[in-house]
A and B are shown apart, each in its own frame.
Chain A
Amino acid sequence: MNEMSWPPQVPPPPPSPMPPPMPVGFSGSRSDFFHLVKRGAGLEFVTLGFYRFWLLTDIRRHLWANTLVDGDAAEYTGRGKELLIGFLVAMAILVPVYLAYFLAGLEAEHIQAFASIPLVAFFYIFGQFAIYRARRYRLTRTVWRGVRFWMSGSGWKYALYASLWGLLSAVTLGLALPWRTAALERYKMRHSFYGDLQGSFEGRGWEFFKRGWWLWLLAPIAFVVYPIAPFIYGAFKAIEWRWWLSGIRFGDVRLESSLPKSALIGLYWKVIGWIVVLGLVFSVYLALAAALVASMSGDAFTEFFTSQEFARSIPLLVLMGVGYLVFALAMNIVIRVYLSRDLWVRVLGSVNISGIEAAANVAARGEMANALGEGFADGLDVGGF
């Protein structure tokens, strides 16, 4: 501290090393995240996708650890190995389920052609179960101030709720969606805890409906005029995030979000722009690969392409496959940077927390849940963070 006397006008650093409390902040650097997903994509390439369990974990660890609530950063304690085990166990369970599904479908078809189609509903219900259990896994791996979040409730009950509400939404062409979301969030939050602080959800379906009904009217137009689709979707997601966050309570801790409707539209356009650019690069690559293979085959160019030989050349197919894999992974990097990280930062930036004192002395409770739900979600291709 020898420099302290010069220049004199600079005040000395505050004696407390703690920064002033801030409601919710994000401290992660974008280039760190980019590096993380870039490296992860490379490893996914090498491992034919098996690295996904560790990459997903690293993404969550980065986002959680840089999210600061009242000056304290959260922590994600899940590990890639847990996801791998969850996936393997889920596979072991899903194989007989698929087989039973096949046999049941066969019996149904025997009675009437295409009678097995309603059986797909079973997988919808199963998917909802997976979503609930996956959320429980993520929540129990979320730690703040040395106390974990956790979740009770029944995945099957939730799946039943979600499916009945889903049926109603389908019947009403999506008009019941706000009430569905509200009811399901109430169930999820009522069974979510931070230590001994019970969660709840105060968002009303009617509020969500009031903010977003005009999007429901515009949505059919998007099927004709594609360019407005990102605007509609972006506005919808922003409204949904804001409404959802503003409804979250843990005891007396209340969240409030002020996310503007337009906040996310730019992100979706950036993703689209990048995908177009990557698509162009991929096309150029394909053209070059085809030219290369054609020149090596010795035939004249036109002859090579008019005889359908180029569709049968194994080197060309291999080049195409590798090129496509690289293209898909690059696309994943773009999506993760914009729609995982940037979206996270924007949404967090809109959040204010009041009554945080209620979380100052919460007793730790709750057990860790296993990653089976995540495994099912992976096996059934139903999403989640």
Chain B
Amino acid sequence: MDSEASVPGTSILDGSAAYFDGASSRRRMVTLRLADRLEIVEGEQTLATWAYADIRRADSPAGVLRVSCLTAAALARLEVRDTALASELVARCASIDDHMIGRRGIATIVGWSVAAAVSIVAVVLFGLPLLADRLTPLVPETFERRLGDVADSQIKKIFDAKVCDNAAGQKAFTKLVTQIRESAGLDTSVQSGVLSSSIPNAFALPGGKVYMFDGLLAKAENADEIAGVLAHELGHLKHRDSMRKLIHDGGTSFLIGLLFGDITGSSALIFGSQTLVTSSHSREAEHNADSFAIDVMHRLGRPAKPTGELLLRVTGKEGKGLSIISTHPLSEDRLARMSRLDPPASGPPLLTAEEWKALKSICSAKI
């Protein structure tokens, strides 16, 4: 019993512990001498002396004090199970917890994380649109055309759609597109066509392709309605919106993906915030394309209002207020914008009645 640390008297500065020298896994039972420095003694031999200032706490189960030393082997460990000895030792080591992440450390992590998150959000909201604007003109046309070809074959596969081209309909369609294209100031590289699908929609692909689904023609009542839609899509082409969207959306999903990380269920959050950002950007692009379409129609001396009416017919009334997750502005608002300042028709009709009829039936079998 006289070797015990708890025996009162001189031996309060001594005690036994387990020592691992970091060079082998051998467990040595040692005696600790809490002198000027910590002396680790096995039998008669002093195995090591550690300066108190260099001693650091290592992870251990409850009830065990485990320490390492900055100047010893990185994995050398001393394990003290005697609580009295442990507290004696801790009392001497002023810097024992210096390497732990304390409140300050946590505050630093939180501070930097918040700064990083704010910076990511700022880049997504302000930096990426700017970047997309600047980068888009630098992307070579040939590259964009390649993208368009890829999207082209994918879309035809997904919608199982064929190009409609019975002669009379195609002639009318070409006439219509050419008038709009020339008024829009686009060159002949623009390709366009009608696809056989009942979905009422039209879209522009990167690299100068505009497609209209037959379903939209079916809903249209006159050539002005369709002309405005085509002008809108040509507006997307002129602004190279699909390239811009690609850069913008790609950047957005990458940056937002940096947040949240491995939290289970975070994908819904990532998806949600991504939708918010990209749809706001998309609404802006749609707004600009609308302005472009209105401009083109007026230059042709035709009203833009019919296009707005067609849109409303397709989507139905969308209710009040603007949804922050919709990709397009509200159809009511678009109609209102297109009706505003609409001058009376001054130019000739874009298509004759026969041509319009032929266009409407472009997807039906050869007449």
Contact = CB atoms under 8 A, between A and B. Distances in A.
Contacts of B268: 324, 328
A64 to B, nearest CB: 7
A145 B27 contact: yes
Contacts of A48: 113-114, 117, 259-260
A308 interface: yes
A349 to B, nearest CB: 16
B75 A47 contact: no
Given A50-B117, A73-B60, A325 B269 contact: yes
Given A1-B6, A364-B23, A27 B66 contact: no
A191 interface: no
A94 to B, nearest CB: 9
Contact of B24 (A28, A109, A143, A195): A195
A109 B156 CA distance: 13
A335 interface: yes
A110 B149 contact: yes
Interface stretch (B76-84, B169-177, B303-311): B76-84
A359 B25 contact: yes
A147 B263 contact: no
Interface in B163-207: none
Nearest to B5: A17
B154 A114 contact: yes
B278 interface: no
Contacts of A311: 323, 325
Contacts of B113: 46-48, 50-51
B271 to A, nearest CB: 11
B91 interface: no
Interface in B232-276: 250, 254, 258-266, 268-269, 272-273
Contacts of A47: 109-110, 113-114, 117
Interface residues on B, range: 35 or more
Nearest to A147: B25
Interface string A231-268: 00000000000000000000000000000000000000
A147 B21 CA distance: 9
Nearest to B259: A48
Interface in A148-190: 148
Interface residues of A, number: 71
Given A52-B261, A364-B23, A65 B59 contact: yes
Nearest to B6: A1
B324 A307 contact: no
B154 A109 contact: yes
B25 A360 contact: yes
Nearest to B99: A79
Contacts of A61: 59
Contacts of A329: 263
B62 interface: yes
Interface stretch (B131-139, B314-322, B343-351): B314-322
Interface of B: 1, 4, 6-7, 16, 18, 20-27, 58-64, 66, 73, 75-77, 79, 81-82, 101, 106, 109-110, 112-114, 116-117, 146-147, 149-150, 153-154, 156-157, 250, 254, 258-266, 268-269, 272-273, 319-325
12 contacts: A27-B62, A28-B61, A44-B263, A52-B262, A75-B77, A80-B109, A147-B24, A194-B25, A195-B25, A312-B322, A363-B24, A378-B262
